[in-house]
Structure 1
Amino acid sequence: MQKVFRRTVLAERQAARRGARRREKNNRDFRKAQRDQTFFQNRERGAILKQAAINRKEDWELGALAPKRDVGEWKEKYGTVNPHTLRGPMLFGEERYKKLEIFGGKYLNITAGDRVVLLEGRDKGKIGTIKEIDARRAECTIEGLNLVDVSVPKWMINPDDPDQRPIRQMEKPISLPSVRLVHPLTDEATGVTKDVIIKKLVNSKLWHSKEGGVSWSRIVPGLNIKIPWPKRDPKVYEDKASDTLRIDVEAKTFVPTLLTPPMPRSVIDELRNKYSIFRTRHEPAYIAEKEAEENAKEEKKKMAKLMRTPLSEINRKERKLRKAKGKGKLTPDMLERIGKIIAEKRQLAMDAAGVSKEGAAAEPVKAAV
């Protein structure tokens, strides 16, 4: 049975190593795709700026003779940008948390539906409502602000779409450090309520729910004022013809009894994969069969030890001869020769250690004292 457990453990470790390699490869591919996307966006943006500088120079030099540029390929998309260049690159590590630090870092104190003011751009100073937040890029989309003209390719326009314009206006995402939360606060002295730009927010104590969710409140530091979260309309779910009715789901179609299990044994084997190497729960019959196989192997090993082979007979005879001879005895000649060898070796060892004869002779005297 130990072999079965060992096989399961080895299979789990192999699967873990394979999963780690797969995750590492996916991470490398994802980073490479992000680098390529950033490279192409920067190259296209640089080409647009370079061409705009050339056009501006020609317009200034030629004056009234400046060429008309909204012709040919640019007839319908002159003055527009590619929609793929609207979003910024993905941020990782310290760069990402540094941009999100002003709004709480990992647990953001800003969400869709909040009113914010722009601190830069052509719409600087205007107040709008956040439409969407992309924490991976530290950007947010503000409804009706920071609009740009975007050229939509023909293959992206649905024939059934009522809007067939090749040029449309879209909200370009803006960096989160470039916006500040705006919330109406009442002055305690005057009682006047007006919009206030909140520079910084901090998180309150985090509450972890049983379902794994996290909730917190956002507070203005110093003033200890709690800013409520924006109210959202509840989602409306529409029934369709393909939906399963609730009455069909809640209908009781199985009544368990004490005579039959809740699920047939064949279905359990099919779900658990009876022959999987990752299986850790086994049937009693399977366990008994494996234990019987191991006991049979142990019995074979014992039988092999009891078998009489030519090699075992020779070893037995040699043991008997050694036992009959008994222990050897040292004669006076042997002892004398051993003493001479010890004396010679002792002098060589003392010379190698740098110990003089006088010091060696004095040591026993000191020990005796």
Structure 2
Amino acid sequence: MERIIRRTLLAKSSAARRYARESAAKIAHKRLRRSQYDSLLRDHKKYVQKIRSELIEDVKRGPLAPIRGKDNKDRIARDLPTADAMRLPDVVEPRKFFNIAVGDRVVLLNGKDRNKVGVVKEVDVDTDSVKVQGLNVYPIRTPEYFEGLDGGDAPGMDQECNIPYTDVRLVHPVEDPKTGILRDAIVKKVKISDVRKDVHGKRTWTRWIAFTGTEIPWPKKVEPEYQDEQCDTKRMDAEERTYVPTLLKPPIPEGVIDELRGKYSKFRDRHDREYIEQKMREDEEEKAMKKARVVTPLMDINRKIRRDKIEKGKTQKLTGDILEQLGRTMAQSETPFLKERSKRAKILEEIQRQEQAGGFGFRPALGQLPSRNLEVPSSSSPPPPSAPPS
């Protein structure tokens, strides 16, 4: 069962790291898209200005105007961008409070339609932009199958393009303190209050003009009128009750529930009782197999050595005598670090210590051990300490 829990934790941590990498990559991609869109918009504005200057030049020259393309259609469709290219990229961090809704009156601060007031036609929270009806219109290249639908053969059409949220301001009528007449005013800053959520989790709030007591009401939504067609389903057929649950069988089969909740998923941290009992039995069997395993004297010695190391590391402290002995050894060996003894030397020393203490029930004969295991290199044993000078 411990392996299952460890596997779940590792899977969750790896998924979190992967999600962090993907989020960072998405943010970098959004920033790149934003820079690409800015450069595309600048090129498009230059192209529109160039077309206008060419048209003015053609009107002035008359029959002496140069031939710039095969025909008027080819000239218009030369470098027109598509609708997807003119779409703003997604923002890195969405705005917390989007204070502009469909139906609001706004004024443009930048662009060719600067200082013009229009009605918001569409709101795009993902790109942090709005579309104003009849403003910021640019020619957009349309697909070939669109040509001729409106009675013309032009390869492009005028379409409202998205305007960044920072390039528009709300326009709301405010009473003049001198005359008492309502006049339109540009709202520089909007104050928010009474933030609340409805039963569906949708967040709403109240808009105010900052530093005043004037409330900006939300525009009323106009419900579209629908007409019934032959292909539409009738209401009486849609509301007809075709399933009646009974107590004889569950509404959803048990196998479907296991598939929906991911019974064999590695991210699952809640398991059935039968599954837990099975894993506990497997753990008990594994522990029993480890206990029943044959332990050789060499394994027992290594186990004792490791236990002694742990105990010495916890209790032993470096005293003055030990530090002095370490310094002498390091000075004689001419190395800044004390060489570690080989593992074979430790095993032989442990065997000798056990034999001197009375043994532990096992005394190997010299003929039973290989001769190479009994050879102790001279460099592994530290030299005897020299007597201090008198």
TM category (shorter chain) comes to 0.5 to 0.7
- 1:281 pairs, out of 260, 264, 270, with 270
Secondary structure of the equivalent of 2:173?
A: strand
Alignment correspondent of 2:119? 129
Q: TM-score, normalised by structure 2?
A: 0.61
Distance between the aligned counterparts of 1:64 and 1:213, measured in 2? Answer: 61
Is residue 116–residue 129 contact of structure 1 (8 Å, CA) maintained in 2?
Answer: yes
Is residue 33–residue 89 contact of structure 2 (8 Å, CA) maintained in 1?
Answer: no
1:272 aligns with 2:264: no
Q: Deviations over 1:74-100 (max 9, x none)?
A: 34654998354894754857xx99xxx
- The 1:270–1:235 alpha-carbon spacing in structure 2 relative to 1, beyond 3 Å, is same
Q: Which has the higher helix share?
A: 1
Structure 1 window deviating more from structure 2 (109-118 vs 204-213): it is 204-213
Alignment correspondent of 1:182? 171
Alignment correspondent of 2:356? 322
Alignment correspondent of 1:344? 388
Alignment correspondent of 2:330? none
Alignment correspondent of 2:363? none
Alignment correspondent of 2:103? 113
Alignment correspondent of 1:15? 15
1:74 aligns with 2:72: yes
Q: In the TM superposition, what are the counterparts of 1:92-111 in structure 2 within 5 Å?
A: 106-111=96-101
Distance between the aligned counterparts of 1:247 and 1:91, measured in 2? Answer: 40
Q: Deviations over 1:217-243 (max 9, x none)?
A: 111223211111111113556675468
- The 1:322–1:211 alpha-carbon spacing in structure 2 relative to 1, beyond 3 Å, is farther
Is residue 69–residue 78 contact of structure 1 (8 Å, CA) maintained in 2?
Answer: no
Q: Deviations over 1:55-80 (max 9, x none)?
A: 867987xx556415576243465499
Alignment correspondent of 2:291? 302
1:168 aligns with 2:157: yes
Structure 1 window deviating more from structure 2 (197-206 vs 213-222): it is 197-206
Structure 1 residue 295, shift from structure 2 partner: 0.8
Is residue 104–residue 119 contact of structure 2 (8 Å, CA) maintained in 1?
Answer: yes
Aligned residue pairs total 313
- The 1:128–1:273 alpha-carbon spacing in structure 2 relative to 1, beyond 3 Å, is closer
Secondary structure of the equivalent of 2:388?
A: helix
- The 1:219–1:36 alpha-carbon spacing in structure 2 relative to 1, beyond 3 Å, is closer
- The 1:122–1:64 alpha-carbon spacing in structure 2 relative to 1, beyond 3 Å, is same
Q: TM-score, normalised by structure 1?
A: 0.64
Distance between the aligned counterparts of 2:216 and 2:26, measured in 1? Answer: 40
Alignment correspondent of 1:362? none
Q: What letter is aligned with 1:142?
A: V
- The 1:269–1:26 alpha-carbon spacing in structure 2 relative to 1, beyond 3 Å, is same
Is residue 132–residue 160 contact of structure 2 (8 Å, CA) maintained in 1?
Answer: yes
Q: What letter is aligned with 1:322?
A: Q
Structure 1 residue 251, shift from structure 2 partner: 5.0
Secondary structure of the equivalent of 1:128?
A: strand
Structure 1 residue 127, shift from structure 2 partner: 3.4
Secondary structure of the equivalent of 2:239?
A: helix
1:247 aligns with 2:243: no
Secondary structure of the equivalent of 1:140?
A: strand
Distance between the aligned counterparts of 1:201 and 1:266, measured in 2? Answer: 54
- The 1:175–1:261 alpha-carbon spacing in structure 2 relative to 1, beyond 3 Å, is closer
- The 1:184–1:77 alpha-carbon spacing in structure 2 relative to 1, beyond 3 Å, is farther
Structure 2 stretches lacking a partner, 5+ long: 302-346, 360-384
Secondary structure of the equivalent of 1:182?
A: strand
Instruction: Indicate the structure whose relative CO is greater, using CA pairs within 8 Å and at least 6 residues apart.
Output: 1
Alignment correspondent of 1:356? none
